[in-house]
Amino acid sequence: MFDAKRLLDQFIGTSSGAPQQGAGPSGGRDWSKMLEGKGGLATGAVAGGLAGLLIGGKKPKKLAKNALKYGGMAVVGGLAYKAWRDYQAGRPPQAGAPAEPAALEPPPTGTPFLPQSPAEQDQLGRSLLRAMIAAAKADGHIDADEQKRIFAHVEGLGLDSDDKAFVFEELSKPLDVQAVAAGATCQETAAEIYAASLLAIDADGPAEKGYLGMLAARLNLPAGLVEHLHASVGDATEPA
């Protein structure tokens, strides 16, 4: 049975989804070693998750160590919530990269950033997963050959068959910014979709900048909030 929340944990590489201490999803595979072949990816949140596999050698990110103890939805929600809260309060986004990733704080439960009901969690999880996969495809590096390589890696990770089917289907679809933006139900979830996209992309490339610009426009995100989202993700991550 497809579980969007569980699969999102796998994408981000958090403790509730990514196995620790060398144990794989099926109990015997070493997660970090299976990903090391993709450009020497580091273990840890994002870089050691499925998102790191999709990004490949294009600057996979690592989050603060404390992010590993949270679920993927709490990680993305926390990044988006900080940006949204600072934007609403009229604070200027902080400039410059910190010496090390800032500790992540999860968002309040029962809010659009971290809903309580399983149905809302599933809906949000699907939207965030779709956003991350689309962002990873934005520069066009995931061609047919690269898809085959990713499929082979994913087949060996011991994922549920429905989870694998979702990943394969989304990877095979043409890039569709409108379909990604359609997952937003309010400004808060729009901010989360954008934050998830930032985690799965090298935002400095021209193709990536163009994609993010289109996504922000389709999500109707104010320019100030977009700046805060970039600052929030930038403060909490570093290149792997």
DSSP 95-123: PS--SSPPPP-PPPTTBTTB--SHHHHHH
Domain that residue 20 falls in: 4-239
Segment holding 239, helix H or strand E: strand 237-239
Phi/psi class of residue 121: alpha, beta or left (left: φ > 0; alpha: ψ in -120 to 50)? Answer: alpha
The dihedral through the CA atoms of 58, 36, 38, 43 has a sign that is negative
Q: Mention every residue, 6+ apart, whose C-beta is less than 8 A from residue 169.
A: none
- CB contact burial 160-172 (16+ within 10 A = b; e otherwise): eeebbebbeebbe
Kindly give the confidence (pLDDT) of every residue in the chain, 240 residues in length, as a single tens digit, with 9 standing for 90 and above: 888 888 888 888 765 543 333 333 333 333 233 233 333 223 344 545 676 667 655 555 667 666 667 888 998 999 999 999 999 999 998 765 555 667 788 899 999 999 999 999 999 999 999 999 999 888 887 777 778 878 887 777 777 889 889 988 998 899 999 999 999 999 999 999 999 999 888 788 888 899 999 999 999 999 999 999 999 988 887 765
Amino acid symbol at 33: K
Q: Mention every residue, 6+ apart, whose C-beta is less than 8 A from residue 14.
A: 45, 49, 67, 68, 69, 70, 71, 72, 74, 75
**CA 227 remoteness from chain centre:** 18
pTM of this structure: 0.82
Domain tally for the chain? 1
Specify the 3-state DSSP secondary structure of 39: coil
Token pair in block for residue 184: 């937003």
